Chains A and B, each alone.
Chain A
Amino acid sequence: MSERPTPQELAEAIEEFLSAEILPTLDDQRLRFRMLVALNALGILHRELAKLPPEDDAEQRELAARIRAGDVPPGTLARIKADVQRRLLTNSPRHLDRY
């Protein structure tokens, strides 16, 4: 499923944070230089990610709409839980250890 922020949007957010809030605080010339290089690299990542096609969320949309309409057959929860678990493996893998 497509999740927001997308990978591209995440790269963009980090880029903005580093250039607006961290870069101006760096006095060490070597660190400043390496931060600028890192920002260039992030820019490449950001533009590479922008080339990817958007993920298809039609299936999730249909499932969400069915539940909204009150159509909740047995097995719905198990299916959703497995989906969320998969997303967590990317978004916050250590969180699953808490259960």
Chain B
Amino acid sequence: MREALEAVLGPVSEPVLLAGGASKEAWAVDAGGEQLLVRRAAVGVIHRHTLSLRDEFAVIEAAYEAGVKVPRPVLYIEDLDGREAFVMERIPGETIGRRIVRMEPVPPSLPLELAEQLAKIHAIPPERVPFLHHAQLERLVDELDEVGEPHPAIELGLWWLRENRPPPREPVVVHGDFRIGNVAVDGNGLVGVLDWEFAHLDDPARDLAFGLVRAWRFGVDDKRLGGIGEVEPFLERYNEVTGRGIGLEELDYWEVAGNVAWAIGCLTQARRHLTGQDRSVELAILGRLGAEVEYEICDLLETAGAP
């Protein structure tokens, strides 16, 4: 790995493989006095509903240009020791969700900073990233059908989403996985927005609501905004910056959508284990823990008055 990196970066320190990241390896390496992070495709990952590393790198570049707090993109490498990879700045800060929600204190500026970053992401010109597709609810149905297991709670969620669709908003570039767990945070607040592989074009409210999903509150359930704060000031700040006037009821709708997407995500992750694509207990057990998300869908639908 060191040799392969030196071929493109010049002299580097011995690369260290970091923990975590099922679909991409993460290597820490220093070069030219800079701390860098190398993301490299893991073995056997099929990009069906996520971006290739090439496209993800291009989205990070576009975000960086748009003034979003992201690690500075350095280089895309088509073939790094046999797999595609990209290099970016290695930023400090906590990224483990469970630890962020238990920071003492959680930086008080964090909710507003998250709103400001979303406003900037949603202002990225779509023509700058022309390979991004517009996601539709139907794609979730396709993903569920690919799994092929009966899950009535998810079906009911999808039915409710079809029946209660708010008037569509002009699609914008969305991060697609914007939540605690995919941002770096230190004592002063937000350091950077990470993990762009789910970027696509969508209703902006979708991106605002994904971080409300109970699974991403990491046990601090009474703080609806990702276990770190209240939703109202966050939404107000976003509307202030963008002038979009997104309402709380839209977030309610997209929170259900976020839970349905994650319930299906649990099943597709488990599939990666079951099909032998990527054997791992961690992925396997998601097939069972998806029941937690289905319960949340039921709870939200009950509040919404579904039959």
Contacts and interface: CB of A to CB of B under 8 A. Distances in A.
Interface of A: 1-5, 9-10, 13-14, 16-17, 57, 60-61, 63-65, 67-68, 70, 72-77, 80-81, 83-85, 87-88, 91-92, 95-96, 98-99
A95 B149 CA distance: 23
A9 B295 contact: no
Contacts of B152: 60, 63-64, 67, 80, 83
A95 B294 CA distance: 12
SS class, residues of chain B in contact with chain A: helix
9 contacts: A5-B285, A63-B152, A68-B155, A77-B301, A80-B298, A81-B153, A81-B298, A84-B298, A92-B288
Interface size grouping (class) on chain B: 20 to 34
B159 interface: yes
B306 interface: yes
SS class, residues of chain A in contact with chain B: helix
B229 interface: no
Contact of A5 (B158, B270, B307): B270
A67 to B, nearest CB: 4
A72 B307 contact: yes
Contacts of B221: 98
Given A9-B284, A85-B295, A87-B291, A80 B156 contact: yes
Interface of B: 149-153, 155-156, 158-159, 219, 221, 267, 270, 273-274, 279-281, 284-285, 287-289, 291-292, 294-295, 298-299, 301-302, 306-307
Given A88-B291, A98-B221, A76 B281 contact: no
A87 B307 CA distance: 21
Nearest to A76: B307
A87 B302 CA distance: 18
